[in-house]
Structure 1
């Protein structure tokens, strides 16, 4: 764990030195929130909530799942340029590498969430919850969501054939998931078959959990089941955390394909 924390500091420094990656990572959800929140600013009928507030909750879910895309691409790049192969030959425990990656992802996602909440409060009238129970819900949804999506990102990093194709291979399913999981389109307005597909993946349940925190009881009417189903949210996110670990153990490779 101590070496994992040290590795996290290294990962943080490497991340913030890549200015273009930092700008894109933080700017994308902010730009989407400002654009969609400004264009679709009307009130959701019978709820007292605005569409803008709905977008805040959905994009917080996207921020919590950033690790899927970032880790999927970064680990693929580490494998392709030989970084993983060299690390495997050092005394650094292999688990410390993943601890460092996971903590870096947790830190970056948390910063994104803080920024999105600040914009939501300042520009779109979002009210932060005053009940401790809703912050407890936020905490476990956030942690389970980040862990599950990060493990899924590590697992999918073995799919691209090279670092050059990693962005295209991994970014596309992430964008599709955002559109079918209630981030940009209210989940109740999606066809049932799309909702069924989204229900298999963690992002839909992460967004649902965050809506329960920031939209309160009024927002439950917008859900497909007319309830936030927090028990199912916990079950699915917990299953993805375990399933993601199993996928990592089954698929992860320290060497690129050209190394055998």
Structure 2
């Protein structure tokens, strides 16, 4: 069987395993739904937010950030913890004795991220529209931007997650290592706090990581004209979004291939 065929056969297995794990399902799939509901309920009494003439509801403001956070959780957090656990419990060692190549293994993991990430984003947008009454964009160019930012963001986060899985020393320490980093990124990247409220030095730090750029691209899609004035350079800077995510995709690809081992070298 070819690498692509083996990788495709892994997608179904990885997806079934994902949905059979209650803790993974909550902390990566359902978490953005929970946070969107909490922030909407907590701050909706303050009324609409945003620049004069471009104000939106609290739920509408947080929707793009939660979609971006979902991409990060599904790709980085899910894969980093999952692969570290598989390495610790001997699953990867057993797979290393089969015809499955690392590339096919990666394809299975990335395919699972695509399936779950697409389902998550679709349900999140649907819930925002039907339950919270959030108006969705009607311009084709905005949905085109949503498509490429979403796909590029998912692939980038999946590869970064695979690379990050080499960092924890054991499966037990994986959540303690990965989750604080992911949570910190969400706070400094305009997911939980309004981007323009962050000091410039913190914005500069956030700009070094992919989540800030994914969130910025999603804000362009779901927020009306006028909101770009609150961005770091007063514009949506979509070329910058593409360049930053492209760089992180290459970095993630190289690191994931260089650092990945069926077993730890010090095992």
Equivalent residue, structure 2, for 1:71:
79
Q: Structure 1: which 4+ aligned runs deviate by more than 4 Å?
A: none
Equivalent residue, structure 2, for 1:29:
32
Hey, what's the Cα distance between the residues in 1 that align with 2:175 and 2:23? 14
Which piece of structure 1 moves more, 158-167 or 38-47? Answer: 38-47
Hey, what's the Cα distance between the residues in 2 that align with 1:144 and 1:156? 18
Cα distance, 1:31 vs structure 2: 1.1
Structure 1 residue ranges without an equivalent (≥5): none
Equivalent residue, structure 2, for 1:51:
58
Alpha carbons 2:59, 2:132 under 8 Å: kept:
yes
Equivalent residue, structure 1, for 2:169:
161
Hey, what's the Cα distance between the residues in 2 that align with 1:96 and 1:35? 39
Aligned length: 259
Cα distance, 1:242 vs structure 2: 0.6
TM-score by length of 1: 0.95
Equivalent residue, structure 2, for 1:60:
67
Q: Is residue 2:23 matched to residue 1:17?
A: no
Cα distance, 1:198 vs structure 2: 0.4
TM-score by length of 2: 0.93
Cα distance, 1:2 vs structure 2: 1.8
Cα distance, 1:250 vs structure 2: 2.6
Residue deviations 1:96-115 (CA, integer Å, cap 9, x gap) = 11100001011111111112
Which SS does the other structure have where 2:100 is aligned?
Answer: coil
- 1:249 and 1:23, CA in 2 relative to 1: closer, same or farther beyond 3 A? closer
Structure 2 residue ranges without an equivalent (≥5): none
Which piece of structure 1 moves more, 178-187 or 27-36? Answer: 27-36
Alpha carbons 2:39, 2:59 under 8 Å: kept:
yes
Hey, what's the Cα distance between the residues in 2 that align with 1:235 and 1:126? 30
Alpha carbons 1:29, 1:59 under 8 Å: kept:
yes
Alpha carbons 1:80, 1:163 under 8 Å: kept:
yes
Cα distance, 1:125 vs structure 2: 3.0
Alpha carbons 1:49, 1:218 under 8 Å: kept:
no
What RMSD over aligned residues (CA atoms) do the two structures have, in Å? 1.4
Residue deviations 1:99-151 (CA, integer Å, cap 9, x gap) = 00001011111111112112221233322222221111111101111111111
The aligned runs of 1:146-157 (5 Å cut-off) are: 146-157=154-165
Hey, what's the Cα distance between the residues in 1 that align with 2:230 and 2:133? 19
